[in-house]
Structure 1
Amino acid sequence: MQAKTELQARARELRLAGRTYDEIVAELGVAKSSVSLWVRDPPKPQKTAEQMRVMNESRWEPHRKARDLARQQTKEAAVRDIGRMTDRELFLVGVGLYWSEGSKCKAHRPQEVTVFINSDPSMITVYLAWLELLHIEPERLRYRVMIHESADVAGAEKFWADLVGIDVTSLDKTTLKKHNPKTVRKNVGENYRGCLVVRVLKGADLYRRIEGWWYGIVLCAKRPA
């Protein structure tokens, strides 16, 4: 009788610890019906936060896979929509790209310079292809990295130099942004490489043409069909 009482107590302890009926049966070597009778009073054990996380991950994993597949298929179809660009199409894309992201002459800063700054390598790639289309000689280009001082500066410099096809020593002096501990930055991690500044030497005339091209696009957009 004492042995049975000890088994009952042990079964309750195991149940309260979160063990399943099958696990208790295996450990105590008793019938499942006995375990069910012995532990029916204790409350159903609560799952831990980690167990709940694993359950949620398992439940949503098929949906995430289906969503990611649909997203990838949409992107691939969109790539096929573009096909091969003509020189004129690249020309127009480049004008819009510069006017969105490039330096512009302002009333408070009447500087006619051609400077493009971006953190997206694909934007830099398209911009450089556009400059090549315009017959801007590589010798007229200067590159400079802008990055937070707390980041991997050397790694970023090598990344951008490799992207544009120059030696790291050919980069202008990197501009380091002071780190403010009070600011919660999102642009962190190994993929953070700051921005690349692309400057065209003697770029005033090019800037004037870019501004004219852009307003030419605006005028065409305004005209009735």
Structure 2
Amino acid sequence: MQTETAVIVLVVGWIAYFALHSLLASLKAKHWVARHWPGAVRGYRLFYNLLSVVLILPLVGITLFYPAPWLWRWEGVAAWVANGLALAALIGFFWTTRYYSMAEFLGTQQWRGHETRVEDQEGFYLSPLHRWVRHPWYFLGLVLLWTRDMNLLFFTTAVIISLYLFIGSKLEERKLITYHGDVYREYRRRVAGIIPLPWKHLSPSEAQQLVGNAKQRP
């Protein structure tokens, strides 16, 4: 397979992957499953995550292991800075997991609890990073992507993933507004989406107030 063909395979593959990913994550798809196979709801999130991992492996394999010309490689001080930022992003990612319900995120909680509700069960909660950016994992993922050495295939993957993170964040926020209403609208107005902006963040007390407002919703 020539490099140009590999690029085309990656572009088509990533678009198909993210289209399916978004479709299966939508409330419409979840409600459809709940209507036709209510017993499958408890395993929906678990199946969704497992399918996502299986389908992404070939695309990651092509990106990482198929030979392609280099566009740039970090060297010297730039390499130290890039790798330092990547390490900080990894540490930030694992640190933030303490503020998420990972059992619900993975789907094991729904499976063990025989959950039949379609909506996510975790309430509105703001971790320290959520005071600065609405989607901390997306931001950390972008840091990891763009601090790597870039050949043509990795660059193709990085561009498509970056575009999807911005598009996907908009789709995800539709669900969050459905779940949390005006509280999330206010949060979205006051805090940056994926790229932190110094003038758009919440103080600890402001974040606590928003969380308190969410708990008062009927």
Instruction: Please report the TM-score for the alignment, with normalisation by the length of structure 1.
Output: 0.23
Q: Which has the higher contact order (CA 8 A, sep 6+)?
A: 2
Instruction: Please report the TM-score for the alignment, with normalisation by the length of structure 2.
Output: 0.24
Is the strand fraction higher in 1 or 2? 1
Is the helix fraction higher in 1 or 2? 2
